[in-house]
A = this chain, B = another copy of it.
Amino acid sequence: MTTSLRCYDCGRTATLEDGKRCVCGEPLWFDVDAANFEWPDGDTAEGMWRYRDVLPVSSGPGVAPGGTPLHRAEGLDADVGCRLSVKVEGQNPTGSFKDRGTAVGVGYVLEAGTDWIGTVSHGNMALSTSAYAAAAGLDCAVFVPTDTPAERLELMARHEPHIFRVEGHYGQLYADTLALETDVRFVNSDTPLRVAGQKTVAYEILEAFAPDVPDAIALPVSSGGQASGVWKALRELETAGLIDDPPRLYVVQAAACDPIATAFREGRDEVTPVDGGDTIAVSIANSDPPSGTRTLAAVRDTGGAAVSVTDDETRDAMALLATTAGLSVEPSSAVALAGVRALARDGEIDADEEVVTILTGSGYKERFDTDVDARTRTIALEALADEVESVVDR
């Protein structure tokens, strides 16, 4: 189990016990020697554990995350404007991409022989951590904003974590938990253990395309933890000699709260907090992303971009996925597809390019305000034949 960390920016090293940030202020990640990594042909480890050689732990409790479908969604090509594939992360055990990082975090706590794990989250990560802690027999503390909907809390409560609704600034809460002197191992969204797990989604995408490489990968961004993981994976795969020309990374935010896209647009090197407004993409409404600057470095390094989309564009993308690909995703996932559509429209992505959009979470965990009565009709059984023909013959 390696515990050696490195700062992506200044190159300083640290250990996992030193803290979660570099002394320069930027986030750390695991210092992995990937030079000899090869695609694990024939490996029978479940899900993401096939990449255990480049992970800080080699297994974890519960159902293995990963191994999610990479689906070539030809039906959307014309509408979106590229050769589109979607990585369906909602098919992870708790319905989101967060399970990958959680599994590494929980696996680490188990190997370390300690008892507690914790996280700070709007929903998906708290649910994921609660579930995997239960599978591991660990105690779990999750910290959520006070405006977290009751229906999300109910999903978490099934796994019996300690749930704290915290009154105060979310960004401060995120930082304060990491600074605590406590036996609780916090695996927040851009911490090294979590980023190590999140990178496996890119390993899966790149292995599926090998020996080819997609032209671009697009994903929604909140803290920047997943974007950092994807970037890390690309760098490791370059080191391993498995890819020459990495895909461009496109990260997408909701326009109402887009500190990373703003910094990119303004040509800045550093992401600074914004006053975020309301958006339907609540899971990614992060006004002060702890790995924002790292994400900016990732998109610049790969020739990509950070962009934002309106809620209307997000709604359109969500409907397109549901009615054309049969996929129900959470709004934050649709943000990424809306971003690809906008980039294609603007000529940044070409129609013949292979683009993978990461659909981070299932839409089935959320309820929307749909007028169900307007979308259904009530009939008597005796009228069945007539009613069927009335729609078929239309």
Instruction: Mark A residues whose CB is within 8 Å of B.
Output: 46-47, 61-64, 67, 69, 71, 75, 88, 91-95, 116, 118, 131-137, 139, 141, 143, 146, 150-151, 153-155, 157-160, 162-169, 172-173, 176-177, 180, 182-184, 319, 322-328, 362-365, 367-368, 370, 372, 375-382, 384-385, 387-389, 391-392
Contact = CB atoms under 8 A, between A and B. Distances in A.
Most buried by B among A94, A372, A377: A372
Contacts of A388: 118, 141, 180, 182, 184
A324 B130 CA distance: 11
A94 B167 contact: no
A180 B391 CA distance: 14
Contact of A379 (B164, B327, B362): B164
Given A134-B322, A164-B377, A379-B166, A158 B363 contact: yes
A141 B164 CA distance: 44
A293 to B, nearest CB: 24
Contacts of A325: 62-63, 134-135
Assembly stoichiometry (copies): 2
List the 8 closest pairs (A to B, CB-CB), nearest first.
A168-B381, A135-B326, A131-B326, A163-B376, A157-B375, A158-B322, A165-B378, A134-B326
B364 A180 contact: no
Given A62-B325, A157-B376, A184-B392, A167 B384 contact: no
Contacts of A133: 326
A182 to B, nearest CB: 5
Contact of A141 (B166, B363, B391): B391
A328 B134 CA distance: 11
Interface of A is mostly: mixed
Contacts of A387: 164
A151 B166 CA distance: 29
Contacts of A91: 63, 91-93
A376 B133 CA distance: 17
Contacts of A118: 388
Contacts of A370: 154, 157-158
Contact of A164 (B62, B176, B326, B376): B376
A178 B79 CA distance: 37
Nearest to A389: B182
Contacts of A143: 384
A363 B139 CA distance: 22
A392 to B, nearest CB: 6
B154 A372 contact: yes
9 contacts: A88-B93, A91-B93, A116-B392, A157-B376, A164-B387, A167-B380, A169-B381, A183-B392, A364-B365
Given A158-B363, A389-B182, A372 B150 contact: yes
A135 B143 CA distance: 38
Contact of A381 (B134, B172, B180): B172
Contacts of A180: 384-385, 388
A155 B328 contact: yes
Contacts of A47: 69
A237 to B, nearest CB: 21
A129 to B, nearest CB: 10
Contacts of A135: 75, 324-327
A358 to B, nearest CB: 14
A7 to B, nearest CB: 27
A84 B62 CA distance: 13
A62 B141 CA distance: 38
A352 to B, nearest CB: 23
